[in-house]
Every structure is written in C-alpha cells, then in structure tokens.
Structure 1
C-alpha cells in the first residue's frame, strides 16, 4: 500500500548546522507548526523506557486543540510504539513511522508497507549467519522473526521492541518472509570498520544505520524516518517546513535535517547534532516535554 508523499529525500537541502552547540528551540510555538514528530528511545523516553504521562496528557490535548498533529517515528515495531500511547487515555499518535520508515500508519490505517525483495533478503541473512556473537531480529509488516538459539536475556530484549513475533529454528527459515528491517545487537559495539565491511558484504541489499552503541538497524534502501514522514505529509497535505522533529541517533539524522525545526537532544550523537538546527535538554531531563510545555502552555 502506498500514498502520495512530500519528498523528504536526499535531494532536499539539509537545514542542520555543523556546530554541535546549537541554540535552544524557540520559546514560543512557531506560527507555521502543524506537526511534531518524535523518536522514542533516547528522545521521548527516559532511560528505562518511561515518560511522564500525567504531563503529556494535557499537552496532547492542547496540541489537538491547536491543530498540531503528533507522530512517532522510530526503528521499533508499530505494535510496541502504540503500546506507549493508550487510545483510551487520549494519547494515541495521529501517525506512526515504524521500522525506520518502512511501515507508515495514519489515523489507524497503514499507508505504506515496504519489504526487502526475496533474493536480497536471502543474501543478507547469509551474511549475518556468518558473524559470530551477533544477535538479531527481523521485522516486517506481518511481525518479527527471532531465532530460537538466542539467549533468554537477548530474547527478552529483542521482544520488548518487537512484541509481535514468532520463533524460527534457523536463520534460513526467515527467507521468504516480508522483512523491512533487521535489528542487530552486539554488546561489544559496532566499530566503523565492521560497519564498512558489513556495508560492502550486503552489496546494497540493505543499508546499516546506527541506532545506539550496541545496536544497528539494517533498513530498506531509500526508506528511513524522513521518507516515512514524507508519506504522512503527503497524506495530510503538509510541508516539511511545518514540522518539528526530535531525535538523538544517526537514524534520526535525515529527519532532523529535512524539517523546518530539527531538534537534537542534549544526549544526541554527533550525526544527529550536525543535522539539527536546535538542541533540547536530554531525554532523562524530559527535553521533549519541556519544549512542548513552552509551545503549548496551559491557559
């Protein structure tokens, strides 16, 4: 399924500044603001995957009253992201960009589902199967696939971010499934030399993007948070200049650099900082909520 999109693509000029000492966001809500997009881990969520719901609930209501949409853009699974925002409490986002832009939902309806071609997926899985000590989960429109051989600790970690999953006996059993993202985890971290070798071995079938020190996502070429957000903008008839986006990692960089108000967290990576125009307080200081509190104050 597809929808017309406003292209937040590689051809769109980046608006970010290279100086890591970026200014704070405007104290007043920008007059043209119509959408706020947030990454989750390291951005909207505190360490430990929590946020102040009592604080966010009235902000969410005032955002609706002001005609400003709320979108979650993450590498995580759609089902996991929606679990943070109960609809019964009035917290549900207007749109969700999940699997790093491969799956896009608006108002409860999926606008986009993207997956890797079968032959490309087979090549990728063969490469990953040859890396010792590497854990991963493959995710797509139909759910996630996790190897039975993963340790109990790794199963708990990977299924937290991918609650809709099924086990497979072997890596090869994932072949033929609809896979849009593969999340890699290695406690030893991912040195740039390894990422360079991985990129070469994958041959363009999928593209690695850093989502944390010990986490890397393999994504569909040309699909990232910015492209997914572009689908939503096309659906709602909005322009990138009317968007504020918050992020902290390398997989947020395209999105931060291609919106009117790209905001990196104080705990953000160098890639995210260089793409953003502004800097907010750290995630553990509730940076997103503090900015939104300035923009949507109580009467």
Structure 2
C-alpha cells in the first residue's frame, strides 16, 4: 500500500468550510507539541471562513489548554466524539450509565488480577478519575487528561462519565482488547493508540461528531475535510468529502482515505492546509 503523499494538484480548487484533525500521530509531533506555524494557520483559516476542529480521544480540558488563546468559535471534539464543546458551551454529549461503568471497572480489575499490566481512566465531563497512582501510569494520564483526580476507590466518582479508557503497558490490540470484544455487542470499543483502548456509548465515534457539527453549522459533507492516522479516526474520515490519511497512518486508515498527507513529523496537516489556502 502506497504511503506517498498526494500531490497538491490533486486537491486544487476545493471549497472547504470545515476541517477536522485528529491530534496524536496526526497534527501533533511525537513529543505532543503543535507543529510550528499552527497558530498562524488558524488565523488564516479563520480569515478564509474555514472552521478548524480538533477531534481527539483527549480530554476537553487538555485540548482547550493546547489551543489556549485560539479557541474562540472553535468547536472541540473530545473523548473520541463523546463530548462536543464550542466557546465553553456543550453542543452534544454521550455518557455511560453508572451500572455499565461499575460492571466494566470490576471486569478490568479481574483482568488486571490475571497479570495484564493496565491502568484505567474514567473520563468524566469535569475530570478524569483514576485509582492507580504510580508515576509510570500517572505520566500517561497527565499527558491526555490535564484535569485528573486520584480516588482510593475509582467508583467513588461524582460526575457524568463519557468514556472508559484503558492504558495497556504492552500492546493494547493483542493484550487487553481480546478480553473486551464481547462489549462491542452494545458499546463502542476502539483501539485509539498502541497502548490505549476506549469504551464509549454505542452511538459514539468521531463520525457521529462530524455529522453533528455538519448539521449544527450547516456545512455539507462535500465541504468538509478530515485528517487521521488510527482506526478510531475511520468513521470521521468516512463522514467527510475529503479524507486524508497520514503517511504514518495505520493500514486500515490508509485503505479508507482518498488522499495521503505527509507524516505528522513532517507537518502534514499544516502542509496540506497551507497548499489549499494558497490555491484559493
């Protein structure tokens, strides 16, 4: 499968009104930072009437901090589509029942007791709640969940839970995922990174978030573009007229995308959008 970036001539003269971008492995560099020139690009997109939307498995608070000072009018899709916020106002959310959260946490405790090295995050609207507090796990938690709280009993949370995230210290797809396959019958279960698995309401994926924004902002599919690199981005890419996989993307993402952007380390999202702005 070719991972050669698409020539700019193949996406000339596009009429784009909204761009969604995944964060890790897509927009962000491997150290988690925004690429150089991102804030200037946001100003140029805004001037051209194009809405930029971060769409990530990360927490809303984390994404808002990342784009601090540039979030006015910017919709933010957090928790893989379970929470959509614009200018501090909730546009949509999809939460998990208390009964399901309790049953799943108890299941994950049993999985951990069998020797799986995992940490569990309950991603709420106000904070992320964890029980395990060793530094190796908390380093991962702090990266993606700036608002976090350690509880002696994780189930003592007082919040609406948007997502259950599992960090597998080995490989999530081959390690923890097989224990969770049965949950897919009535919930969304996605591998969102080498070490992460997300469990959400069965309606939730980034594609639902795209369609929600298209409806609320009156932007059609054929004026929407998206960038992604991992399987949790597939529904988002399928919901837009111009789907871009990153050159460093998972083979499943490459297979559903019409275009390929340079890798995240090569500033692929900025490169493609800069080319589009230069042509219009």
TM-score computed with the length of structure 2 as normaliser: 0.90
Decide which of 30, 45, 59 is 1:63's aligned counterpart: 45
Aligned-residue CA RMSD (Å): 2.2
Decide which of 96, 99, 124 is 1:140's aligned counterpart: 124
Decide which of 190, 194, 203 is 1:209's aligned counterpart: 190
Residue 242 of structure 1 deviates from its aligned partner by: 1.0
Residue 160 of structure 1 deviates from its aligned partner by: 2.0
Determine whether 1:243 maps to 2:227: no
- C-alpha deviations, 1:196-241, integer Å up to 9, x for none? 33121x3645332111121111122111111112211111111122
* Structure 2, unpaired ranges of 5+: none
- C-alpha deviations, 1:21-70, integer Å up to 9, x for none? 576164455432101110000000000011234x2233222211211110
Determine whether 1:113 maps to 2:96: no
| CA distance 1:21–1:49, change in 2 (3 Å) | closer
CA contact (8 A) 1:129 1:171 kept: no
Larger RCO, structure (CA 8 Å, separation 6 or more): 1
Alignment correspondent of 1:40: 23
Determine whether 1:183 maps to 2:165: yes
Alignment correspondent of 1:83: 65
Task: State the aligned residue count.
Answer: 275
- Provide the C-alpha distance between the structure 2 equivalents of 1:20 and 1:219, rounded to a whole number of angstroms: 33
Decide which of 129, 134, 137 is 1:154's aligned counterpart: 137
Alignment correspondent of 2:110: 130
Decide which of 250, 253, 260 is 1:279's aligned counterpart: 260
* Structure 1, unpaired ranges of 5+: 1-18
TM-score computed with the length of structure 1 as normaliser: 0.85
CA contact (8 A) 2:5 2:247 kept: no
Instruction: State the secondary structure of the residue aligned to 2:52.
Output: strand
Structure with greater helix share of residues: 2
